[in-house]
């Protein structure tokens, strides 16, 4: 149906097939922790190999103003083997209303990647990440389904100015509210279903002097409805309204990146007040990357997360009996090294020293009281693309 709509009658099949592109990627990591678990039983002897990403994408341009694109992703990050079942990562029709040397205006229809921060739209391709893991205070892996993509429509506008490029993206659709969100909200213990509501996301971005300076402001208003199947418990609503400010400076041999986020989230509408909450969290990181010897780079990053600005140490949270105080924050020092011997192969190593468990995946650590506040993590990864 999509091809019938998009391909004009006069299009020549041979020329259309000349625009066909196929690409793919594969990455495998080893995760070792001294305490707590991340992406599988990483604290056991030998660590965890349960961090695997496999993807394939295809694109076709049946008309100079129309692009069809889709990607299938198989990703396992701890959990059961069934979690690696291939899924549609994105699949869309991109129609350019105007495209010239001055500006681009277009719309995407289908499942699109959310424009959130610097890295969200390409976060599953290892070659696009500055390290093996993205800063977890901004790009949560514990609730990645919420930020990853949406089914709906995304419009975009790009204006080329004398000194830079100004772009704007805005989308409306239904996000992917997966089991990871249920587990993080501790709603997986209650019979019921979490269904996404129509949500909105937007990003304003400016690149100065060919990308030497990049700034972006992202905002989303995401909602989901929990349909309770437990007798005596009413339905409830989840909301997530983050703001992210992103800044980056790129020199010939080094880059400095910082992002800051305010995240308002909560549950409301339950007749049992124990389930309702409203908090505003705060996140930020500062990252330095250095390139050397043509195919090597290293990075150092400090990443900080506070789940509730009104209780940054988690003392009130612990006093209420909800869980340990260190589950409400995380301070992460990261040191990484990457080697790209060919454009298609990358080897990477990364060390994390972490104070707090604020972004630990709930599926790997079902009982927060069994976690340790101070812990170390070592990762090794090999990645291939074609």
How far from 330 is each of 52, 101, 257, 278, CA to CA, in Å?
A: 25, 45, 19, 20
State the pLDDT at residue 158: 97
Topology (CATH) of 2-385: Porin (2.40.160)
C-alpha angle with apex 209: 206 to 214, nearest 5 degrees?
35
State the pLDDT at residue 11: 54
Query: Are 275 and 256 contacting, i.e. CB atoms less than 8 angstroms apart?
Result: no
Write out the two tokens for 249.
């400076």
State the pLDDT at residue 382: 98
Across the chain, which has 386 residues, the per-10-residue mean pLDDT values are: 42 76 96 94 92 96 94 89 84 95 95 94 93 94 82 96 96 83 77 86 96 96 86 86 97 98 91 86 97 96 96 93 93 98 97 96 88 97 97
Indicate if the alpha-carbon torsion angle 148, 156, 128, 300 is positive or negative.
Answer: negative
Torsions phi, psi for 269 (to 5 deg): 95, -10
d(CA 247, CA 277): 31
* Residue carrying structure tokens 């079942």: 85
State the pLDDT at residue 194: 82
State the pLDDT at residue 6: 43
d(CA 384, CA 343): 9
State the pLDDT at residue 137: 94
DSSP 8-state secondary structure symbol assigned to residue 197: P
State the pLDDT at residue 65: 93
Give the start-to-end residue ranges of the domains of the chain.
Answer: 2-385
C-alpha angle with apex 380: 123 to 149, nearest 5 degrees?
15
State the pLDDT at residue 193: 81
d(CA 386, CA 180): 30
**Which residues does 249 contact at the CB level (< 8 Å), separation at least 6?**
212, 213, 255, 256, 257
Torsions phi, psi for 368 (to 5 deg): -60, -30
């Amino acid at each position: 149906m999509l091809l019938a709509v998009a391909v004009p009658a006069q299009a020549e099949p041979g020329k259309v097939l000349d625009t066909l592109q196929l690409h793919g990627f594969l990455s495998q990591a080893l995760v070792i922790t001294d305490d707590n678990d991340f992406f599988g039983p990483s604290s056991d002897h030998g660590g965890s190999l349960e961090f695997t990403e496999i993807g394939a994408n295809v694109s076709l341009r049946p008309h100079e103003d129309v692009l069809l694109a889709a990607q299938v992703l198989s990703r396992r990050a701890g959990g059961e083997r069934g979690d690696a079942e291939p899924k549609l990562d994105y699949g869309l029709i991109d129609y350019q209303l105007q495209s010239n040397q001055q500006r681009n205006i277009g719309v995407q229809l289908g499942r699109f990647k959310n424009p959130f921060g610097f890295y969200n739209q390409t976060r599953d391709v290892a070659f696009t990440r500055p390290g093996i893991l993205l800063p977890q205070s901004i790009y949560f892996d514990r609730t990645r389904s919420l930020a990853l993509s949406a089914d709906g429509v995304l419009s975009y506008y790009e204006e080329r100015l004398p000194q830079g490029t100004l772009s704007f993206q805005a989308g409306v659709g239904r996000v992917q509210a997966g089991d990871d969100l249920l587990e993080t909200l501790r709603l997986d213990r209650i019979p019921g279903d979490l269904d996404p509501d129509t949500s909105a996301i937007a990003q304003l971005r400016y690149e100065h002097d060919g990308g030497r300076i990049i700034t972006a402001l992202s905002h989303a208003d995401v909602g989901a409805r929990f349909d309770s199947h437990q007798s005596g418990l009413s339905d409830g609503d989840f909301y997530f309204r983050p703001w992210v400010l992103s800044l980056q400076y790129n020199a010939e041999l080094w880059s400095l990146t910082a992002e800051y986020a305010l995240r308002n989230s909560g549950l409301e509408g339950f007749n049992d007040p124990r389930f309702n909450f409203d908090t505003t969290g705060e996140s930020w990181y500062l990252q330095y990357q250095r390139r050397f010897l043509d195919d090597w780079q290293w990075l150092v990053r400090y990443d900080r997360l506070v789940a509730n600005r009104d209780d940054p140490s988690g003392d009130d949270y612990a006093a209420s009996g909800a869980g340990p105080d260190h589950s409400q924050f995380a301070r992460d020092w990261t040191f990484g090294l990457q080697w790209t011997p060919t454009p298609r192969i990358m080897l990477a190593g990364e060390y994390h020293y972490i104070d707090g468990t604020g972004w630990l995946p709930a599926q790997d650590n079902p009982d927060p009281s069994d976690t340790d506040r101070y812990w170390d993590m070592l990762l090794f990864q090999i990645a291939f693309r074609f």
